[in-house]
């Protein structure tokens, strides 16, 4: 992981780019370096933060993009930081809302072949190579989680959060799924299949809540976040 300067790309020695010459030992040290750099930088965040997940494919101006922007703006105005995957779509909306709200706007970007380019609204941009290191940073440095509509990546991040709470590997934190219509099929499947077959417990379904309105989401998160004094208004 490197902190990128505007206009610069991540550079690696030639022998590292050639997978036939790189060793598992080198990969281990690169993974360690990503953890060390991420821990070092994100541990300096001065405020409690909320991680917002969601699709990279939802366009600016779409319903959930605007909703995400509003939620992030209100949380930033209340003094909380926002952490996203640093890319386009919902991630961009959350970083944009946080920045316009005067808050800390963290983008944990990862380079993907087709769609993941860093957005321009992050005040703390980071670049990752390994998904699992990036997920650790999402979890470790946030005390609330909001999952907007998304695809496989968002589901992966959501179930990582739910698993950590279910197995008590982390302290309970608020998890909000935004959009009852979008999430209803998944939730019904959890009830009708997993719960019905005894592979989860009834109380596991209370780990998350589903909300539809931006103000409901903000109020729910704020009621369960560490209390801080909001930043003074600029005059």
CA distance 129 to 73: 29
**CATH code of residue 99:** 3.40.50.450
CA distance 194 to 192: 6
**pLDDT, averaged across the chain:** 88
* Assigned domain for 235 exists: no
Q: What is the mean pLDDT of residues 168-173?
A: 90
The domain containing residue 84 runs over which residues? 18-224
* Assigned domain for 11 exists: no
* Assigned domain for 38 exists: yes
* Assigned domain for 3 exists: no
pLDDT in tens, 68-107: 999 999 999 999 999 999 999 999 999 999 999 999 999 9
- Cβ–Cβ < 8 Å for 128, 34: yes
**Partners of 109 in the beta sheet?**
127
Proportion of the chain above pLDDT 90, given as a percent: 66
* Assigned domain for 63 exists: yes
- Total domain count, the chain: 1
Could you tell me which of 179, 218, 159 has the C-alpha nearest to residue 62? 179
- Cβ–Cβ < 8 Å for 62, 68: no
* Assigned domain for 168 exists: yes
- Cβ–Cβ < 8 Å for 71, 49: no
* Assigned domain for 160 exists: yes
pLDDT in tens, 120-149: 999 999 988 888 999 999 889 899 999 999
pLDDT in tens, 35-50: 998 898 899 998 999 9
């Amino acid at each position: 992981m490197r902190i990128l300067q505007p206009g610069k790309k991540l550079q690696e020695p030639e022998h590292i780019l050639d997978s036939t010459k790189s060793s598992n030992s080198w990969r281990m040290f690169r993974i360690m370096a990503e953890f060390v750099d991420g821990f070092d930088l994100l541990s300096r965040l001065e405020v409690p933060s909320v991680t917002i997940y969601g699709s990279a494919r939802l366009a600016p101006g779409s319903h959930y993009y605007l909703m995400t922007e509003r939620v992030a703006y209100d949380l930033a105005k209340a003094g909380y930081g926002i952490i996203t995957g640093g890319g386009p779509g919902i991630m961009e909306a959350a970083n944009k809302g946080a920045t316009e709200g005067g808050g800390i706007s963290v983008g944990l970007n990862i380079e993907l072949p087709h769609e993941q380019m860093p957005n321009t609204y992050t005040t703390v941009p980071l670049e990752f190579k390994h998904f699992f290191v990036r997920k650790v940073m999402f979890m470790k440095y946030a005390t609330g989680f909001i999952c907007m509509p998304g695809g496989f990546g968002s589901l992966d991040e959501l179930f990582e959060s739910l698993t950590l709470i279910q197995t008590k590997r982390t302290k309970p934190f608020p998890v909000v799924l935004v959009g009852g219509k979008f999430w209803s099929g998944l939730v019904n499947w959890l009830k009708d299949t997993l719960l019905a077959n005894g592979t989860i417990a009834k109380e596991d379904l209370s780990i998350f809540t589903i909300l539809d309105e931006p103000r409901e989401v903000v109020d729910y998160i704020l009621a369960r976040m560490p209390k801080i004094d909001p930043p003074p208004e600029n005059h």
